[in-house]
Amino acid sequence: MNEHKLTFFIYTMGCQMNVYESEMLNMYLLNYGLLKVQNIRNANIVIVNTCSVRKHAEQKAFSYLGRLIKYKNNKIIVIGCMAEHLQLQLKKRFKNIDLIIGRNDTNNMKRTVLTIMKFLYQYKPNYIKNVYIKSSIIRYLAIAKGCNNYCSYCIVPFVRGKEVSFHYQDIFNKCTFMVQSGAREIILLGQNVNSYSNHGVTFTQLLRKIATIEKLMRIRFMTNHPKDLNDDLIHAMSVIPKICPHIHLPIQSGSDKILYKMNRKYNYEQYINLINKLRIAIPSINITTDVIVGFPNETEEDFNKTLNAIRKIKFGKVYVFKYSQRPYTSASKIHDNISYLEKQRRHKIILEESNKISLALASQMIGSTQEVLIDKLNHNSIEATTYHGYKTFITINSTHNNIHIGQIINVKIINIKGTSLFGNTILNE
């Protein structure tokens, strides 16, 4: 029955914004009658959504594109950040790529899908349906695009452009729509959600409005910038139960010298003050962060300041990255004088230390009862997320086979593996 339908496969690399944009693209293509396939071998069209934030991500995309050569019958489309700034290189290196769609289109997925339709069918539909086929329980939603911060190491402002906050009413309507089609948790996305501003509506006001959507149970957001996270937001987090006690607040470094060179516009003391405020207002908050090791001229002393910050703050999770020089950025003009081996050593130390802390924090939850939102159901396990943001795998107790996706249930945490929690469901009598 489906033999005349074109099939597609999307491979997504990089950040949540890319995941979100791939979801949108997926929805639009389904709405146009294309068929999604799980196996790349069955795909007529392969779309690669790329990332440029670190050199490693670009190298991964290059090798993925290289491997695609063997699927000769596919149409290959490249979108995302590399499609924006490496068009020529991609065209030269990979003759098998059929279409490259740069930033001007990927920042607007409607335009991207119209470009794809024109390429596939030689016609450009003049309208686009906005119908969610089936919504998953947890959904991403971009509230802004681009970034104005120009952290000295970061390519994002150059590939994604200046910050633009989307219309608040449009965001609210999209949230309502997502909830109507099954979503129960929405994660709002922006490079810096704290600087959101549209027609005088601030981020916190937007959150308050979204929290009024009845069947929506949980709201999260990312990423936050310490220089813009204000008391109004902290207060809203402490009084609106739907806003999860979870914040991703990248510290990047514990050394004031490096923070200054990174153009982060805060110092360690200011960061700690924010953490204290958050913990006073929301005692159970799970704070996660990003760290870069091996920024140019990072001495052992600077590095130790970062390590000590991690020990002191006790993040729920630290995403640690080895500095890599990116084109266009101001840091790319500074000699990258820390060897790869040294970056690797610092990376390993931070990772081991932060994993120990994550494990200790998660272990404290053993024996407690946590509210979890059921995200996925497999035959013998349930995947769920705690209110604080930990992924939880629950062993099904055979008497509880009436659990369904989207439900919030109480779980007694009994064990922990890695940073995943395991538990037993508790009947809410």
What is the binding site for ligand SF4 (CB under 6 A)? 147, 149-151, 154, 156-157, 191-192, 225
CB 218 within 8 A of CB 244: yes
In sequence order, what are the residues at sequence separation of 6 or more whose Cβ sits closer than 8 angstroms to the Cβ of residue 250?
A: 223, 224, 225, 226, 289, 290, 291
User: Which residues, listed in sequence order, are joined to residue 145 by a DSSP beta bridge?
Assistant: 164
Contact letters for ligand 5AD, residues 320-339 (x by CB under 6 A): -x-xx-x-------------
**Residues in 154-173 that interact with ligand 5AD by CB under 6 A:** 154
Q: Which two tokens stand for residue 329?
A: 């950025």
Token pair for residue 422?
């395991």
* Min separation Cβ 58 and ligand 5AD, Å: 11
Pick one of ligand SF4, ligand 5AD, none as the site partner of residue 357 (Cβ within 5 to 8 A by kind).
none
Q: Residues 238-277: x/- map of binding to ligand 5AD (CB under 6 A)?
A: ------------x-x-------------------------
| Residue bearing tokens 């068929």 | 35
Regarding 292 and contact with ligand 5AD (CB under 6 A), the answer is yes
Of 95 and 333, which CB lies nearer to ligand 5AD in the complex structure?
333
Is residue 232 part of the contact set for ligand 5AD (CB under 6 A)? no
Comparing CB distances to ligand SF4, the nearer of 49 and 252 is 252
53 in contact with ligand 5AD (CB under 6 A): yes
> Which residues, in sequence order, are bridge partners of residue 221?
188
The backbone torsions φ and ψ at residue 163, rounded to the nearest 5 degrees and listed phi first, read -70, 130
Cα dist from 51 to 61, 114, 117, 122, 236, whole Å: 8, 22, 23, 28, 33
Which of ligand SF4, ligand 5AD, none is residue 85 near (CB under 5 to 8 Å by kind)?
A: none
The distance of closest approach from Cβ of residue 349 to ligand SF4 in the complex, given in angstroms and rounded to an integer, is: 22
Query: At its nearest, how many Å lie between ligand SF4 and the CB of residue 215?
Result: 32
Angle, alpha carbons 400-404-405 (nearest 5°): 140
Residue 336 main-chain phi, psi, to 5 deg: -80, 85
Q: What's the min distance (Å) between Cβ of 329 and ligand 5AD?
A: 7
In the bound state with ligand SF4, the residue whose beta carbon lies nearer, of 113 and 155, is: 155
Query: DSSP assignment, residue 252?
Result: B
d(CA 34, CA 31): 7
- Residue 386 tokens read as 């705690």
For 413, the token pair is 């945490």
For residue 67, how many other CB atoms are within 10 A of its CB?
Answer: 10
Which of 86-94, 307-315, 319-327, 338-346 is the region at the interface with ligand 5AD (rule: CB under 6 A)? 319-327
Asked whether 53 and 154 are in contact (CB, 8 A), the reply is yes
Q: Which residues contact 412 (CB under 8 A, 6 or more apart)?
A: 367, 368, 369, 423, 424, 426
Closer residue to ligand 5AD (CB): 319 or 422: 319
191 touches which of ligand 5AD, ligand SF4, none (CB within 5 to 8 A by kind)? ligand SF4
| Residue 192 site contact among ligand SF4, ligand 5AD, none (CB < 5 to 8 Å, cut-off depends on kind) | ligand SF4
For strands 164-165 and 144-145, give the pairing: antiparallel
> With respect to ligand 5AD, which residue has the nearer C-beta, 263 or 407?
263
Size of the site for ligand 5AD (CB under 6 A): 12
Q: Which residues of this chain interact with ligand 5AD, rule CB under 6 A? A: 53-54, 153-154, 250, 252, 290, 292, 321, 323-324, 326
